[in-house]
Structure 1
């Protein structure tokens, strides 16, 4: 078998390419094993050729763009579930395995992997970007659910971040290399296997939807729910602009008002108790029309607005594109930050519906732009910058789950401070001394 297949791409003059515009690699390879990845890396290292790992391409921060050209390693042919230990609640997968593919594989075991970023992303890619999503409030992000990784370093060396075949629930052995690679966005090595925590499928799942007279009331309900210790599985926020878009897109008739979409997991009694407790909190905050459903079809119907939010937002201006923002703040500061963000967007010429994984303080504005209008692109950039700095000012982060990529490198420096940023830079140089591993991303060297 050949080591890899090759596709040569037109590269063009990269000096004239704007940031966050598509910038293709010179060559794409499709390795089918870790050893093949290692051989490609060794060749690239010896010849100072940049490498860009590719999973499914669902990232939102230009993580697979190639500003310096080089070799793109498309890992989709490495698509095997390698080791499943249902009795230990863990599994190891190659980088071509997506979250939906894994959960389909697990369907007869009573187990599932709950981290859900929305797109059917590669699990190793999700680890590389520290992805999370709607279930993070209950089950955590990728950072909490990755137990071990096999990584090919820039020079072709193969390592296991927690030791070969180690899969314990906890360890105090040495430096936490696993979490150095979670969120590294392909800048420190190529993830060729990840070992993940699994969970039992809940006995009962109940969904609920409730609308509120204001953003403050909806987010106050979220804060009170979290402070009450209710183990809610999902608590998602859509503002009035997004609800209007979802109604028009899906033929729905929800109130055009700030709305929470909720989900409860557990035994039948526990789920009922959780829903009743949240309904009381919502009522205290003037919530209305608290709808609940446990039947799968009814749950799907209740959640349809949230699931279609991205497409509904884009449908507000046919032919438009979306600029997805992503910040996270302490939940006690969430009401003021969302309100200030809505006010900022309302003063602009752009439409910017807001959605959020508000149970962990993470929210997004979908800034809808004409991609051929430089003025709109610049306005979206300015709004995004102000949104990020608003989050930083209250102790938050410029990215809750999308990553840094190309566009947020300056914000990372501000967030971390010069000393911490320099430590990250030193780590990058130590592990990638030639700066060929997904160069220009996260930490520019």
Structure 2
């Protein structure tokens, strides 16, 4: 299956938002029992009976969209529609034994992305569902990068925000909840007992205090984000760390989070079993998130470079040859026989054509300013430039003759052409420089 890129993802977003096309999908009629609901579908499945009744009344206006993954039809969007069709079959309506679907072949990673993006626009999501969606979309993008070669450029958080039509700040908050909130706080958010802002502020507190907040919310108490934020600010205010003025910059003590209360700090400490890096320990969720994305960017760049290098090495010589150029050059008649016979296996040339190893030459014999009709075909097998004694802008090409037209004569002379010179001419031209260097 071919690779896909962000254009495919953006097309999925456009379709889900109602602005795209499904022309690349194929129509198929299947039994609702033949298609498989997605295991990753965490969205609510409510009001199925009402939807089934509407199908009986006005018909199904929008077909369920499928992804065929390894030959298996899986639901991308329309889980409720498919359940409604099954309900109508079980009610005895045989016309629903076969219904219309639209499908497209997909990789597992692309299917996951299509599912998440499609549901982002087809329903009103709860705060919990949005949080789960952001986390699963992040995992799906990283999986697509690893398995399908999806090229991720830029901050992952910004990409997720764009795909979900959320701000980068909201996505960062969702990520903080997924990473730092206790299961109790997440459950309270899922049940609607607290809002997403309160859950984000609670995730900054120690686990015991998070559990207390979740318990209060479950008991029906009013839990307000402002009150939790005030508690977080109060804790930070109590940590009135003062920057020390070290006598020596070699000591670990000055960067330790425990510097203030430590009674054995010293200006020469180089190793300590109680050391905690203050800068690392006190990073915000935003800082940690950005560092994670920077690491992903660097890893992606490295992987892409490795892949490009591997693909370059995997190419056969014949394939690599298609990237090389064929240069048509003139050759003086006085050199034709020596080159054609293989006696002269080099060419001293001005490198104004971008010669490189693997390129080929078509050498046209000229005499008295006219082409004689004879030619030599040769490959450049070696190249020497920027060498001591070699004039700037010139190179020596090692060549391998692959063919020539016309007989090789034993006595043939002719004039030398511009752009080509003999070794004697070259040495004479650079004689002052050589004598000066001597």
Question: Structure 1 length as normaliser, TM-score?
Answer: 0.21
Bigger strand share: 1
Q: Could you say which structure has the greater relative contact order, defined with CA pairs below 8 angstroms and 6 or more residues apart?
A: 1
Bigger helix share: 2
Question: Structure 2 length as normaliser, TM-score?
Answer: 0.22
Whichever of the two has the greater Rg, that structure is 2
